[in-house]
Chain A
Amino acid sequence: MTLENGWEMVVGLEVHTELKTATKMFCGCANSFGSEPNTNVCPVCLGLPGSLPVLNERAIELAMAIGMALHSRIAPSTFHRKNYFYPDMPKDFQISQYDLPINSGGYLDLPDGSRVSIERAHLEEDTGKSTHLGGSGRIHGADRSLVDYNRSGVPLVEIVSGPDIRSSAQARAYAMELRGILIATGASDGRMEEGSMRIDANVSVRQSADPFGTRCEIKNLNSLRSLQRAIDYEAQRQVELIEAGGTVRQETRHWDEILAVTSTMRIKEEADDYRYFREPDLVDLAPDQAWQDRVRGELPAMPAERRAKLSSRLNEPSDAQVGAVEVVIDLGLDPFVHAAIDHGVDPSLALARAANELAAGLDGITRLSHEAFSVTLSMEQGGELSATQAKTVLGELLARGGDPKAVAAAKGFEQLSSDTLGATVAELIVQYPDEWARYRDGDEKLAQFFIGQVMKLTKGQANGKAVVGELQARR
């Protein structure tokens, strides 16, 4: 969407990602999604008196890995208490980082070439999850909210971008690229639908080159689609409000996915006063160079680098192939493509089979070795398997594992011997003398006719290219 009359939107995103640790941020309770309510809780994450938090080493390393991937500066940091009253936080404060975050500054380059600055990426703990009973009074106890503290204390990193984003499409691209980085670092599984990655968007509008306008914050966007729609709606709302003579009020707004509108949640009359103060139960965090180097050494290649490496092996990729590269990088399938190309498989074929067949069978990907993938595609390329047969073999390997040649044999995909193929072709030439004469006179369309007949007689076991070779040899 483009704003009219010279209006420009200014967007900054705050992305919260849960870290993929075994335990919570400050206690040894399991960090797992989908457990029975209140089964992963202890005195620390329930905020019981006398309990003391201890930092999870893995959470710190994942936070550093995110910072490194975003070109941030890793600095000595401290923890603060952010005080507020809400039942999803049993301590009545959230432990977060305030003026000294673990990661400061940085940037993220997007596939379109634009760069979005990163202000900070700090550690904090997640809150519990509350469920509100229906408010009609119909149900007994409708005046109650129910709270599950399994999520309370789960480690989070909040990544705050600069106000550099100028369209909802760019916001989406930023969120996708960041998600790719979070998955690549092993910091997160990036599952927005499970809430492991949540986005708040700060949106304002201005006449181009004017100072920034008053911003509204849209909370808890939990899909890329919601993100894009909510930003477009909110920017347009602000433009219409200003053009009608109104002024934008700084406030927190809620996106309603069904009505496709944002609405006021909370008016920020004064800066929120969370009475931040140092968390006295935690000491400073100051990873030394050796610790940082170790984390940096374990950092895998980021999506942008992997995308460039894969694209460089394709000869002038088509739009469809660019899309296929995106899919393959997003799903982490690029090592299969590289292995197959190294094995001598045509890059286009390797990319296509990974982006389609492997992507479709992702659940079984651990059953498929790079070797088995490469061998199957070599068999297809060499004519031992037809395209359909190769896809069937891949499907079987993903479903049950095994050796490609054995699977092909078990499926009856044994290649016809050239003797059998020759005899079959000879037989058909006798049976269809008119068609054969026309083919010999140069009517290439008749090759298809003969391939069809051979397939019929051999129940699809012949290879099209081999049949053509046989026909040409006898022409």
Chain B
Amino acid sequence: MGSPLRREDVAYVAKLARLTLSDAELDMFTEQLGQVLAHAEDMGALNLENVVATAHPFGLINVVRDDIVRPSLEREVVLAMAPDARDGRFAVPRIMGEAP
């Protein structure tokens, strides 16, 4: 069996996902997620030597479309969905720093 899930792992993942978790929630999710991972590790007991790795449940490859322009949405419709818009653009809280 692999190493059990640690509380700080859950806290780290929560930080990456921008989730604020209370101490009680951290304990709860560490317990719950640990059970999920433990279940996944049951696979380790199986002999998979002759099983080909599967990346996707479908056997399909190369699903593509032709490079032909299709109508886009009307801008008024698009911007009407946003909480705020200005000059034909979405207005969002001021971005601090650069894109990753």
Contact = CB atoms under 8 A, between A and B. Distances in A.
A31 B94 CA distance: 27
A49 B92 CA distance: 19
B64 A40 contact: no
Contacts of A30: 69, 72
A141 B65 contact: no
B92 A144 contact: yes
Interface in A264-300: 265-266, 272-275, 278, 280, 282-287, 291
Contact of B99 (A21, A36, A86): A86
B100 A272 contact: yes
B63 A54 contact: yes
B90 to A, nearest CB: 4
Nearest to A274: B100
A241 interface: no
Contact of B56 (A41, A265, A283): A283
Give chain A's interface secondary structure class. loop
Contacts of A272: 100
Interface string A22-60: 110001111000001111111100100000001111111
Given A38-B75, A147-B89, A219 B68 contact: no
Most B C-beta atoms less than 10 A away, residue of A36, A38, A78, A275? A38
Interface residues of A, number: 64
B62 A40 contact: no
Contact of A54 (B65, B72, B87): B65
A338 B69 CA distance: 37
Contact of B98 (A36, A38, A254): A254
Contacts of A145: 91-95
A360 interface: no
Nearest to A54: B65
A61 to B, nearest CB: 9
The number of chain B residues touching the other chain, given as a range, is: 35 or more
B95 A130 contact: yes
Interface stretch (B21-29, B33-41, B44-52, B78-86): B78-86
Most A C-beta atoms less than 10 A away, residue of B58, B67, B78, B92? B67
B55 A22 contact: no
Contacts of A21: 67
Interface stretch (A131-139, A304-312, A317-325, A340-348): A131-139
A219 B90 contact: no
Interface of A: 21-23, 27-30, 36-43, 46, 54-60, 76, 78, 83-88, 127, 130-133, 135, 141-149, 219, 252, 254, 265-266, 272-275, 278, 280, 282-287, 291
26 contacts: A22-B68, A23-B67, A30-B72, A37-B87, A37-B89, A38-B78, A38-B88, A40-B72, A41-B75, A42-B70, A43-B73, A46-B73, A54-B63, A58-B67, A59-B67, A60-B64, A78-B55, A87-B92, A144-B86, A147-B92, A148-B88, A254-B98, A266-B97, A278-B55, A282-B63, A285-B62
